[in-house]
């Protein structure tokens, strides 16, 4: 069986060339006589892997020297706790709740301190991003928190809130490395790798160093302190070695696509292809507000649950996998991350047109 087009929201498609390279190196990594999976994380071979991965990431994103790059475990969800545990220092933090992920982060932060809602789009079933120009950031807040791309609802911030001197914390799990980013505008950026940059198991955090508490936080578990991982060079304990190794290959692949500018151009072309098809269709409709549409996650519906199910089943049989939407939105969702080739999006669009011809809107009662 050949490769399918995998529209999964995560873990998600990886570049085929990266998988091939990893396969070639599986049994004998560059003359070491062992796989990266079998290697001590203290070995010189692994040290070179993690150092090169960090250097390539710094280069790709233009990460300033006063930011630490950390390779962590526990997924994006552990950052929901680590952020308040490290950055909320007896004060309060402001959260913009624009979807399930920022809502979870807000709820987790409330366990540890005074988390407040700065903006909220639950009234529109999270189909839009709250207007950032209308957010009134309290200058005394410890940080402002956003989820930049809401994976389930398919919305993306196209402008950042003005937070003044208050550090901006952003969950970029589902838009990591999808387009250029000005790291200096943020206090902390993090993302789980399994959406857009690698396999599950590693979460990358980029933290401005003045935000990292210099003293030991006695009430916070050692593993949940950023300081621990800064001091240990992401190797306080055994890091997710193989996941970091694959991420390193993905960073090189993105460089070969023209870096983040090149990646953005490819992603815009893919998203336009799919959004144009949705806008022209009489059967399919996008669910996110147009101005806030994500380049990465594209939810859409027919408005008829039976027809949605039929589409999902037929798409699956045609090798277009995992287009079922999240249960909170229903319908379909195509995640078209960096590694999804434009041919995959074209195949989906062609299939949608064909499906529409076979199931015209006029043949069904409304």
Ligand X SMILES: *Cc1c(COP(=O)(O)O)cnc(C)c1O
According to the annotation, is 77 in a ligand binding site? yes
Distance CA 330, CA 72 (A): 32
Query: Is residue 192 near ligand X by the rule CB under 6 A?
Result: yes
Among 52, 73, 75, 314, binds ligand X (CB under 6 A): 75
Q: State which of residues 10, 15, 130, 344 lies at the interface with ligand X (CB under 6 A).
A: 10
Of 151 and 267, which has the nearer Cβ to ligand X? 151
Give residue for tokens 């807040």.
141
The answer to whether residue 201 forms part of the interface with ligand X (CB under 6 A) is no
The reply on whether position 174 binds ligand X by CB under 6 A is yes
Q: Is 151 annotated as a binding residue?
A: yes
User: Judged by CB, which is closer to ligand X: 105, or 220?
Assistant: 105
Residue at token pair 């287009």: 323
- Residue ranges of E strands in the chain: 5-6, 67-72, 92-97, 114-120, 144-147, 149-150, 155-156, 168-171, 188-192, 203-208, 285-286, 297-301, 320-321, 332-335
Whether the CB-CB separation of 9 and 328 falls below 8 Å is answered with no
Smallest distance from the beta carbon of 21 to ligand X, in angstroms?
Answer: 24
Does 76 sit near ligand X (CB under 6 A)? yes
CB 246 to ligand X: min, Å: 15
Q: Is 171 annotated as a binding residue?
A: yes
What phi and psi values does residue 309 have, to the nearest 5 degrees?
A: -60, -40
- Whole-number Å distance between alpha carbons of 111 and 286: 35
Q: By C-beta, is 202 or 301 nearer to ligand X? A: 202
What is the rounded distance in angstroms from the CA atom of residue 332 to the CA atom of residue 323?
Answer: 5
The reply on whether position 8 binds ligand X by CB under 6 A is: no
CB of 343 to ligand X, least distance (A): 25
d(CA 206, CA 346): 35
User: Which is it for the CA torsion 47, 48, 53, 57, positive or negative?
Assistant: positive
Candidate list 77, 138, 304, 359; residue touching ligand X; CB under 6 A: 77
Residue 322 assigned as binding residue: no
Residue 147 touching ligand X (CB under 6 A): yes
Whole-number minimum distance, CB 121 to ligand X, in Å? 15
Q: 83 to 102, contacts with ligand X by CB under 6 A? A: 101
Interface stretch with ligand X, choices 69-77, 109-117, 131-139, 318-326 (CB under 6 A): 69-77
| Number of residues counted as binding ligand X (CB under 6 A) | 12
Three-state SS at 147: strand
Distance CA 104, CA 102 (A): 5
Which amino acids are annotated catalytic? 101, 171, 195
Q: Which residues bind ligand X (CB under 6 A)?
A: 10, 75-77, 101, 147, 151, 171, 173-174, 192, 195
């Amino acid at each position: 069986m050949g490769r399918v087009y995998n529209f999964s929201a995560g873990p998600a498609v990886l570049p085929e060339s990266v998988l091939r390279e990893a396969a070639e190196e599986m049994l004998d990594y560059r003359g070491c006589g062992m796989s990266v999976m079998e290697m001590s994380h203290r070995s010189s071979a692994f040290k070179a892997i993690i150092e090169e991965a960090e250097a390539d990431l710094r280069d790709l994103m233009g990460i300033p020297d006063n930011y630490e790059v950390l390779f962590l475990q526990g997924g994006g969800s552990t950052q929901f706790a680590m952020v308040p545990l490290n950055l909320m220092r007896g004060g309060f933090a402001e959260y913009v709740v624009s979807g399930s992920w920022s809502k979870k982060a807000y709820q987790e932060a409330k366990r540890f301190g005074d988390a407040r809602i700065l903006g909220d789009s639950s009234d529109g079933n999270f189909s839009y991003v709250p207007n950032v120009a209308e957010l009134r950031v309290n200058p005394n807040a410890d940080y402002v928190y956003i989820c930049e791309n809401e994976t389930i609802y398919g919305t993306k911030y196209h402008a950042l809130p003005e937070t003044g001197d208050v550090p901006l914390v952003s969950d970029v799990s589902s838009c990591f490395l999808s387009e250029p980013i000005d790291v200096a505008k943020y206090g902390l950026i993090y993302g789980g790798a399994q959406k857009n940059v690698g396999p599950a198991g590693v979460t990358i955090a980029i933290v401005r160093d003045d935000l990292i508490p210099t003293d030991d936080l006695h009430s916070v578990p050692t593993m949940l302190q950023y300081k621990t991982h800064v001091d240990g060079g992401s190797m306080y304990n055994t890091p997710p070695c193989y996941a970091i190794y694959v991420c390193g290959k993905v960073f090189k692949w993105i460089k070969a696509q023209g870096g983040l500018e090149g990646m953005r151009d490819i992603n815009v072309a893919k998203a336009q292809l799919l959004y144009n098809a949705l806008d022209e269709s009489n059967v399919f409709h996008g669910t996110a507000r147009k101005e806030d549409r994500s380049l990465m996650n594209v939810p859409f519906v027919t408005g008829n649950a039976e027809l949605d199910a039929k589409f999902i089943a037929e798409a699956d049989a045609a090798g277009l996998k995992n287009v079922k939407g999240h249960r909170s939105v229903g319908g379909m969702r195509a995640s078209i991350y960096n590694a999804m080739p434009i041919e995959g999006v074209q195949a989906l669009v062609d299939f949608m047109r064909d499906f529409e011809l076979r199931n015209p809107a006029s043949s069904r009662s409304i």
